[in-house]
């Protein structure tokens, strides 16, 4: 039997309108600096706790939390002109990704 080593880093992100054609990772913009970022979380619980604090449109959009490989998050962010920051349960930046 061969040993399999998993080296992928997984993070949790908030998905807007999951399972629809308009599905996307929830991102934010700083209106003052025009910087854009996607929040990522180390645990699903951190994502749930922080989600309660984040601005969102509960009337027009649905949300879900998904685990995503780090490289996929970075690729998605780059395509949209966003940075990725790992946040804690209170929304404080722990570190940038990428």
Strand 10-16 relative to strand 24-25: parallel, antiparallel, unpaired? antiparallel
At residue 78, what are phi and psi to the nearest 5 degrees? -60, -40
Q: How far apart are CA 16 and CA 56, in angstroms?
A: 9
Angstrom distance (rounded) from CA 38 to CA 14: 9
Residue 83, classed as helix, strand or coil, is strand
User: pLDDT tens across 41-64, in order?
Assistant: 999 999 999 999 988 887 788 999
Q: State pLDDT tens for residues 27-42.
A: 988 788 888 999 999 9
Decide if 39 contacts 54 (C-beta within 8 A): yes
């Amino acid at each position: 039997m061969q040993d399999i080593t998993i080296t992928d880093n997984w993070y949790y992100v908030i998905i807007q309108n999951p399972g629809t054609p308009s599905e996307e990772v929830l991102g934010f913009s700083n209106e003052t600096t025009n910087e854009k970022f996607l929040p990522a979380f180390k645990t699903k619980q951190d994502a749930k706790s922080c989600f309660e604090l984040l601005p969102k449109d509960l009337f027009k959009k649905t949300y879900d939390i998904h685990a995503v490989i780090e490289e996929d998050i970075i690729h998605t962010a780059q395509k949209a002109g966003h940075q990725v920051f790992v946040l804690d349960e209170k929304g404080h930046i722990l570190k940038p990704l990428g």
